[in-house]
């Protein structure tokens, strides 16, 4: 197959059985390797879906500017598609982001604006408000992934069907991290429509507010956390809890340890949110009294975080 440009290589990522790690439980864990996307993360799917929609509606034409608040991956996804499609990009990022992600955005020619970390979207200094303000002032295209329904729809149309197809419908439980909530909302809806018995489980860092919201129906005060890409101190507009059965919380140290274990046991170098998702999957599998087929999303590559990981000198 020859793709007509890079956008033709997005999606259809592989599922791999984690043979060694699954051996610790009675279940079988399959990982969906989203770092096979050209930008190295699951966000390529969403960027492609949003750009296609905007082009169809005449909202984007070559030379236009795209603005977004991102933890890095969405920025890389828009930046690489913008190189192909000739858009300009401006991204606002919380200052805690790894230098690899910032460098990658700059290599693609994007303008990067760093904002203080951990601020809720209503705070004027937050990456969200700053992005919105820039987009308004420049008359640019504002992606707004936390409130843009095309974000979960991209996963409902691509990620969910791929999982169902490649697992040949033999899935008991689906597990993924929650950042914007796009993945869990879109994939969760698709899989529940196929089989309402499939359990949908979210993963967040300790300190994030999703588990409490699922259980109590109200927003609690969050605490600091540091796993890039997952966890929030607010409820994103696209995140729907209707199909979510449970949320498992993971400590940052557990996620980092699991990143190491994934490399050493399975040869997979993935990011911290992947470590968190696998740590949650193992906790879940050890608690389950059945032999389950568990599909876990690994959202991005560990090559984006080498400066953050220990033992790399």
Check binding of 244 to ligand PMP (CB under 6 A). no
Query: Which segments of the chain does DSSP mark as H helices, in order?
Result: 19-22, 43-56, 73-85, 99-107, 127-138, 150-154, 160-166, 182-194, 210-216, 252-261, 272-287
Active site residue 308: no
Measured from the CB atom, the residue of 153 and 228 that comes closer to ligand PMP is: 228
The secondary structure of 141-177 as a DSSP string is EE--TTT-THHHHHIIIIIHHHHHHHTTT--SEEEEE
Cβ at position 26, least distance to ligand PMP in Å: 27
CB 296 within 8 A of CB 279: no
CB 233 within 8 A of CB 144: no
Cβ at position 288, least distance to ligand PMP in Å: 23
Measured from the CB atom, the residue of 25 and 283 that comes closer to ligand PMP is: 283
Q: Classify residue 49 by its DSSP letter.
A: H
Q: Which residue from 271, 280, 294, 295 is in contact with ligand PMP, where contact means CB under 6 A?
A: 271
**Binding flags for ligand PMP, 172-211, as an x/- string (CB under 6 A):** -----xxxxxxx----------------------------
Check binding of 94 to ligand PMP (CB under 6 A). no
User: Hey, what's the torsion of the CAs at 146, 148, 154, 156, to 10 degrees?
Assistant: 80
- What residues numbered 48-77 form the site for ligand PMP, per CB under 6 A? 71, 73
Measured from the CB atom, the residue of 73 and 293 that comes closer to ligand PMP is: 73
Cβ at position 185, least distance to ligand PMP in Å: 8
Question: Which listed residue (32, 43, 129, 304) is catalytic?
Answer: 43
Instruction: State the Cα–Cα distance between residues 310 and 256, nearest whole angstrom.
Output: 9
List Cβ neighbours of 290 (8 Å cut-off, separation of 6 or more).
26, 27, 172
Catalytic residues: 43
**Residue ranges binding ligand PMP (CB under 6 A):** 41, 43, 71, 73, 177-183, 228-230, 271, 273, 299-300
């Amino acid at each position: 197959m020859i793709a007509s440009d890079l956008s033709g290589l997005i999606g259809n990522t592989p599922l791999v059985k984690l043979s060694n790690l699954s051996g610790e439980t009675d279940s079988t864990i399959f990982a969906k390797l989203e770092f096979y996307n050209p930008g190295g993360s699951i966000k390529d799917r969403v960027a492609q879906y949003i750009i296609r929609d905007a082009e169809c509606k005449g909202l984007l034409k070559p030379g236009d500017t795209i603005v977004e608040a991102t933890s890095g991956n969405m920025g890389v996804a828009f930046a690489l598609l913008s190189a192909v499609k000739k858009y300009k990009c401006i991204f606002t990022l919380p200052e805690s982001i790894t230098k690899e992600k910032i460098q990658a955005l700059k290599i693609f020619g994007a303008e990067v604006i760093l904002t203080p970390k951990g601020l809720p979207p209503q705070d004027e200094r937050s990456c969200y408000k700053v992005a919105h303000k820039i987009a308004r002032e420049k008359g640019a295209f504002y992606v707004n992934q936390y409130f843009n329904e095309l974000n979960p729809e991209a996963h409902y149309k691509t990620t969910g069907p791929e999982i169902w197809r490649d697992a040949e419908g033999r899935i008991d439980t689906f597990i993924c991290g929650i950042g914007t909530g796009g993945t869990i909302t879109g994939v969760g809806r698709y899989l529940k429509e196929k089989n309402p018995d499939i359990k949908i489980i979210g993963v967040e860092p300790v300190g994030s507010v999703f588990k409490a919201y699922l259980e109590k129906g109200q927003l609690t005060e969050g605490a600091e956390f540091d796993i890039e890409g997952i966890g929030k101190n607010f409820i994103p507009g696209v995140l729907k809890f209707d199909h979510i059965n449970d949320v498992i919380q993971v400590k940052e140290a557990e996620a980092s340890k699991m990143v190491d274990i994934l490399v050493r046991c399975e040869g997979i170098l993935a990011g911290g949110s992947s470590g968190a998702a696998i740590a949650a999957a193992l906790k879940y599998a050890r608690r389950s009294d059945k032999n389950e087929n568990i599909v876990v999303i690994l959202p991005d590559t560990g090559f984006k975080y080498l400066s953050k990981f220990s033992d790399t000198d």
